[in-house]
């Protein structure tokens, strides 16, 4: 899916749409990509002269990738974080890097969904975590 196609399932819009592309794989995983351009709002002041993508932004990128797996259940609903567990950051993500995400759903008990994900730059693991969401109507 392109950014425009992602807008069909995600409620996020610029500047909070943090994926360039994503797809559900036939293996039950979702795959996403984001190229860090260097002019993003979240790099301004983080850190002056040495921009680094914040860990919370990396978690949001993973969460948006997870939403691809919940697309059929998201119609008319908003995915809200209910938890972030075991988040680990193993490498800096810098301007010019392309992040690649792999996410899977562990369990669903609507309206709650439980997932895990990993983010890589150049094949090196940079972020991982477990996430829970509630799909809420009317938000």
Q: How far is CA 39 from CA 35, 56, 57, 58, 109, in A?
A: 11, 18, 14, 16, 39
**CA separation for the pair 106, 108 (Å, rounded):** 7
Alpha helix stretches (DSSP H) within 31-136: 55-67
Q: Write down the residue that tokens 């807008």 correspond to.
A: 7
The verdict on whether 12 is a catalytic residue reads no
Q: Which of 7, 33, 46, 77 is catalytic?
A: 46
Catalytic amino acids? 46
């Amino acid at each position: 899916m392109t950014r425009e196609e992602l807008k069909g399932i995600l409620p996020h819009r610029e500047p909070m749409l943090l994926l360039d592309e994503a797809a559900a794989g036939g293996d039950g995983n979702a795959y996403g990509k984001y190229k860090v351009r260097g002019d993003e709002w979240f790099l301004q002041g983080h850190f002056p002269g040495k921009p680094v993508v914040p860990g919370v932004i990396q978690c949001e990128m993973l969460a948006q990738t997870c939403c691809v797996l919940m697309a059929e259940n998201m119609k008319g609903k908003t995915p809200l974080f209910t938890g972030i567990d075991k988040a680990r950051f193993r490498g800096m993500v810098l301007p010019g890097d392309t992040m690649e995400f792999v996410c899977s759903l562990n369990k669903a008990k609507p309206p709650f969904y439980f997932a895990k994900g990993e983010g890589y730059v150049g094949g090196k693991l940079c972020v991982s975590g477990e996430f829970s969401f509630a799909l809420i109507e009317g938000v």
